Amino acid sequence: MNINKKQTAERIYIALTALFIAALVTSNLIFQKFFSWNPWGLFNFELSVGIIPYPVTFLVTDIISEIYGRKRANQTVVAGLFASLFTLLIIIVSDAATATSWSPISDDEYHKVFGFTFLGIAASMVAYLTAQFIDVQLFHFWKRLTKGKHLWLRNNASTFTSQFIDTFVVLLLLCSFRVIEWELFGVLLLNGFLFKVLVALSDTPFFYLVVTIFRKYFKIDEVGGELEY
């Protein structure tokens, strides 16, 4: 690979990692608002708005895993962990700071919005680390098992499993800390997992498109090849 293509590959990797971190941090910050969604009247989803950007993280790690390899995917996961820890620290400090008399947002209002966010981020980090590393490992397990074929299988099989684990663990911790009531655990687990499955299935064509473009541009082996530096 020539120098220009190497530089392009690095810029794309940085952009994908930035997208991953943005989706992860945003989902942790906004998770306390819940909404309902009933597509075509088939099923009434009750979901946290934090679930909207979160599936992007699994799509990005799958793209990085496929093109850049396991090591780079794990590096992205670790980068997301550090970003979450920094966000957690800033939230704790800002929530502890006393608002001035003229502040547009009072201490009570701020705490109502962000008071449980540090618990949400803490729970999310535990679930995130567990699920993301499992996602990367399973992706490469299926890649080896199918000898680099059946891209759709490793994309969805790894994502479905890791998404269920992520949803289960984060809800278990949030209910344990009483951020969410236990009676909502079952319905939110079902709703969250089904929503993530639908998103994973719908983004499969996009995953194929991105991987195909990468392989053609960087001249990567069509069957399970990865970038070489």
- Indicate whether 226 belongs to any domain: no
Per-residue model confidence (pLDDT) at position 104:
94
- Indicate whether 178 belongs to any domain: yes
Q: Which residue has the tokens 């009072």?
A: 106
- Indicate whether 180 belongs to any domain: yes
- Indicate whether 128 belongs to any domain: yes
Q: Which residues contact 61 (CB under 8 A, 6 or more apart)?
A: 20, 73, 76, 77, 132, 135, 136, 139
- Indicate whether 205 belongs to any domain: yes
Per-residue model confidence (pLDDT) at position 229:
54
Residue 38 has phi, psi (to 5 degrees) of -125, 80
Asked whether the predicted pLDDT for residue 225 surpasses 60, the reply is: no
Per-residue model confidence (pLDDT) at position 64:
92
Q: Across residues 38-62, what is the average pLDDT? A: 87
Task: Kindly report, residue by residue over 5-27, the tens digit of the pLDDT.
Answer: 888 999 999 999 999 999 989 98
* Sign of the alpha-carbon torsion through 184, 185, 187, 191: positive
- Indicate whether 223 belongs to any domain: no
Asked whether the predicted pLDDT for residue 101 surpasses 90, the reply is: yes
Name the band, by pLDDT with cuts 50, 70 and 90, for residue 216.
confident
Q: Which letter, b or e, does each residue of 127-137 get, where b requires 16 or more Cβ atoms within 10 Å of its Cβ?
A: bbbbbbbbbbb
Task: Kindly report, residue by residue over 104-122, the tens digit of the pLDDT.
Answer: 999 999 888 887 767 777 7
Domain count, the chain: 1
Q: Please tell me which residue, 19 or 33, carries the higher pLDDT value.
A: 19
Asked whether the predicted pLDDT for residue 156 surpasses 90, the reply is: no
Closest CA to 155 of 191, 227, 206: 206
Name the band, by pLDDT with cuts 50, 70 and 90, for residue 222.
low
CATH code, domain with 78: 1.10.1760
Return mean pLDDT, the chain: 85
Per-residue model confidence (pLDDT) at position 100:
96
State the SS3 of the chain.
Answer: CCHHHHHHHHHHHHHHHHHHHHHHHHHHHHCCCEEEECHHHCCCEEEEHHHCCCHHHHHHHHHHHHHHCHHHHHHHHHHHHHHHHHHHHHHHHHHHCCCCCCCCCCHHHHHHHHCCHHHHHHHHHHHHHHHHHHHHHHHHHHHHHCCCCCHHHHHHHHHHHHHHHHHHHHHHHHHHCCCCCHHHHHHHHHHHHHHHHHHHHHCHHHHHHHHHHHHHHHCCCCCCCCCCC
Q: 176 is in which domain, residue-wise? A: 3-218
C-alpha R_g of the chain: 19
- Indicate whether 36 belongs to any domain: yes
Name the band, by pLDDT with cuts 50, 70 and 90, for residue 1.
low
Dmax over Cα atoms in the chain, in whole Å? 65
- Indicate whether 58 belongs to any domain: yes
Per-residue model confidence (pLDDT) at position 32:
82
Asked whether the predicted pLDDT for residue 197 surpasses 90, the reply is: no
